[in-house]
Amino acid sequence: MASSTSRPDGRVRVGVIGSGSIAQIMHLPYLKELDDRFAIGALCDVSPTTLEAAGERYGVPPHARFADYHELCASDLVDAVLVCPSGSHVPPAIAALEAGKHVLIEKPLCYRLDEAEALVEAAREARPRSGAVTLLAYMKRFDPGYQYGQRLVRPLAERGELRFVDARHIHPSNDLYTAHHLVERGRDVPAAVREEGARAHDAAIAVSIGANAPAALRRVFGGMMGSSIHDVYCLNGLLGRPEEIVASEAWDGGRCWSAIFRYPNGVRVNYAWIDVRQVREFTQELACFGGDTRVTITFPSPFLKSAPTIVRVQGMEPPPADPAPYGRPSGEPGWQDPGPAHWEQRVTASHEEAFKREWIHFHACITQGVEPLAGAEEARDDTAFVVEWARATRVG
Ligand SMILES: NC(=O)c1ccc[n+]([C@@H]2O[C@H](COP(=O)([O-])OP(=O)(O)OC[C@H]3O[C@@H](n4cnc5c(N)ncnc54)[C@H](O)[C@@H]3O)[C@@H](O)[C@H]2O)c1
C-alpha cells in the first residue's frame, strides 16, 4: 500500500477542514491532548478570521492554513483529514481520499443519497489504492456509557426479548451549552462562497424532499439530518436497521417531530425530537423495555466535556427464600411472602469523553489496521433512511 500512513514516530498529522465551533470546542483540543498520537498539520476555513484565530491558538503556521480544502488535501503536510465544515461533507471527504488521506467525517455526511453513494465508492476505491481509512465521527457510538448499555440491550434485541424503546431527544438552544466555550467564528466568509454553499444545500434538499417542500418540512429534514442522526445511528447500534416507518408527523413550524418505527424482531420505537428553546436541560434518552430487564441510556449535552452518559438498569430479584424478617425463626407463621423485589442500578461507566475516544479509535484504524466502527456504508444507509423518513412525515 502506498503512503497515507503515519510518521515513523506513530503520530498522524491531521488537517482540519472547517475550523469552526465543534473543531474549536472538541476536536482541536483533543488532538492537542493526544499529542503522542496526533499532530495538527494544517487547518482550512473559508472565514479568514476563524482560520487565523484557530491557527494562532493551535500553533499552525500561516503556510499550513488554507482557504481552499483542495489545497489542504493535496498538501504533504497531512496524513489524515477531519471533515467538519457546514454543508455537505462528501466533496471534501472525496478530495481527501483521492489524495490518499485518511478521513474522519463529522455528521451529517450530506443531504442527498447520490452523494452518500459517491462517498461509498470513493472509500472503496481508496482503501486498496492507498490504505486510506474512512471513519464516521458518530461520537455517541464511542461513548462508554452508550457502549455499556449496548452490551446489555443488543443481546436482548437479538434474542427477541426486547419489546419497546422510548427515544426522546429534548433539545434546547445550543447556545445554552456552548456559550462558556472559547470559540472564534468570523463573519467574513466571502459572499460568493456563502451563496454557492446555499445553492448546493437547496439543490440537495430539492433532490431529497422535493423542490416545493414547505419551509416547515425543510426545517424538519435539516433537524433530522443534523440532530436526529445521532438517534438513528445509536438505535442502529442497539437494534439493527429500522424495517418500517409506521407513522411520522411534525408540528410547531417544523421544530418538533415524532414517529413510530418498527425494528427487527417486532421492536417498536416511539421517537420524539422536541425543540424546547431556552430551558437548559438537554435530555437524550433511550429507554429500552425488555421482558425482565429495562435499560435506560441517558446522554448529556454533547458540548459538556466528560459529562457521563448514565445507564439505569432495572430487573427483579427472585423471591426471598424465607418470608420471616431478620432475627425471627425461619418459617415463623404470620409472615406473608412479599414476592420478588425490584432492583435498580445506576451506572456511571466512565468520564472518558466520546469525542476523544473516537480519535483514539481513528488512530488505531490507521496505525494498527483496526476495522472502523462506523464506515461510509453505514452513513449511506443512514442518509437513505432519513430521506425516506422526511418524505413520510406529515407536517401539521
Ligand atoms: N458530533 C456532534 O455532536 C457535533 C456537534 C456540533 C457540530 N457538528 C457538526 O460539525 C459540523 C460543523 O459544525 P459547527 O457547529 O462547527 O459549525 P460552524 O458553523 O461553527 O463551523 C463550520 C466552519 O466551517 C467553515 N466552512 C464552511 N464551508 C467551508 C468550506 N467549504 N471549506 C472550509 N471551511 C468551510 C465555516 O466558515 C465555519 O468556520 C457540522 O456538520 C455539524 O453538524 C457535530
Q: What is the pLDDT of residues 338-349, one digit of tens each?
A: 999 999 999 999
Q: What is the pLDDT of residues 134-170, one digit of tens each?
A: 999 999 999 999 999 999 999 999 999 999 999 999 9
| pLDDT higher than threshold 90 for residue 224 | yes
**Residue 60 burial (CB < 10 Å; 0-12/13-18/19+)?**
buried
The response to whether residue 47 sits with its C-beta less than 6 Å from ligand 1 reads yes
Kindly report which listed range (44-53, 90-99, 316-325) carries the lowest average pLDDT score: 316-325
Mean per-residue pLDDT, 111-131: 98
The response to whether residue 189 sits with its C-beta less than 6 Å from ligand 1 reads yes
Integer Cα distance of 390 and 385 in angstroms: 9
Determine the distance separating the centroid of ligand 1 and the alpha carbon of 3, expressed in angstroms.
28
Q: What is the pLDDT of residues 293-331, one digit of tens each?
A: 999 999 999 999 999 999 999 999 998 899 999 999 999
Among protein residues, the one whose CA lies closest to atom 40 of ligand 1: 86
Determine the distance separating the centroid of ligand 1 and the alpha carbon of 82, expressed in angstroms.
11
Q: What is the pLDDT of residue 5?
A: 54
Mean pLDDT estimate for the chain: 96
| Most informative mutation of 22, 66, 182 for ligand 1 (most atoms within 8 A of CB) | 22
* Closest CA relative to residue 292, chosen from 269, 309, 315, 263: 315
Scanning the structure block, which residue is given the C-alpha cell 452518559?
309
Query: Residue 174 CA: which ligand 1 atom is closest?
Result: 6
Domains of the chain, earliest start first:
12-140 (3.40.50.720), 145-352+376-395 (3.30.360.10)
Determine the distance separating the centroid of ligand 1 and the alpha carbon of 23, expressed in angstroms.
7
Among protein residues, the one whose CA lies closest to atom 11 of ligand 1: 84
| pLDDT higher than threshold 90 for residue 85 | yes
Q: φ and ψ at 249, to 5 degrees?
A: -145, 160
Query: Residue 138 CA: which ligand 1 atom is closest?
Result: 1
Determine the distance separating the centroid of ligand 1 and the alpha carbon of 117, expressed in angstroms.
22
The reply to whether the predicted model has a pTM over 0.85 is yes
Mean per-residue pLDDT, 101-128: 98
| pLDDT higher than threshold 90 for residue 39 | yes
The response to whether residue 205 sits with its C-beta less than 6 Å from ligand 1 reads no
Mean per-residue pLDDT, 243-254: 98
Mean per-residue pLDDT, 44-71: 98
The response to whether residue 68 sits with its C-beta less than 6 Å from ligand 1 reads no
Integer Cα distance of 63 and 44 in angstroms: 11
Under 8 Å between Cβ of 113 and 119: no
Query: Residue 355 CA: which ligand 1 atom is closest?
Result: 1
Determine the distance separating the centroid of ligand 1 and the alpha carbon of 222, expressed in angstroms.
14
Q: What is the pLDDT of residue 377?
A: 98
> How many other C-beta atoms are found inside a 10 Å radius of the C-beta of residue 370?
14
Determine the distance separating the centroid of ligand 1 and the alpha carbon of 96, expressed in angstroms.
17
The response to whether residue 50 sits with its C-beta less than 6 Å from ligand 1 reads yes
